[in-house]
Amino acid sequence: MATLLITESSAVARANFSDMESAFGNTVLSHYPDGGWVRHWFERDGGYRAAFSDGRTISGNWTREGDRLCLNDIRPRLFLSRFCSKFTPVRFGESWTARDPLGRRVRNELVRGRSH
C-alpha cells in the first residue's frame, strides 16, 4: 500500500505522489470480518509501517506502480517481502473493499490523524 514513485516521467511522478497526499499524516484502517484490524501509515519519503490488532507490527517501503500500490521490503519477513494491490483514491469518510496478502476480504477506510 505505498510508493517511492517509480514512474516514467516527473509529471507522472508528481501526479502519483499527489494521489497519496491524503494518506500522509493519516491512517488507513483495514477491518476484517472477524473484528481484527490493521492500521497502515504511509510517509512522504516512501516509508511504511503497520500495526495489527494482535500486537504485531511490520515496516517497509511503498511505491505506486501504475494503478497498483506496492509494499516492498516488508520486515519482519513473514511469508512475503512484497505485496501489491489496486490503488484506490479516496477521501475521508469513504471506504473500499480489497484483499489482503492471504486473499481475505477487508474493508478499508481513510481515518483523519495517526490513530494508534
Inter-residue long-range contacts of 21-25, CB under 8 Å, 24+ positions, other chains counted? 22/90, 22/91, 22/92, 22/110, 23/110, 25/113, 25/114
Q: What is the pLDDT of residue 81?
A: 82
Gyration radius of the chain's alpha carbons: 13
The pLDDT of residue 116 is: 67
Asked whether residue 27 carries a pLDDT value surpassing 80, the answer given is yes
Using a cut of 0.85, tell me whether the model's pTM lies above it. no
pLDDT of res. 18: 64
Is residue 5 scored above 50 in pLDDT? no
Provide the pLDDT for residue 6. 29
**Residues 50-76 pLDDT 10s:** 999 999 999 999 999 999 999 999 999
At residue 3, the pLDDT reads: 28
- Look up residue 49 and give its three cell numbers: 509501517
88: pLDDT confidence band, cut at 50, 70 and 90?
A: confident
Could you tell me which residues come within 8 angstroms of residue 36 by beta carbon, excluding any fewer than 6 positions away? 52, 53, 54
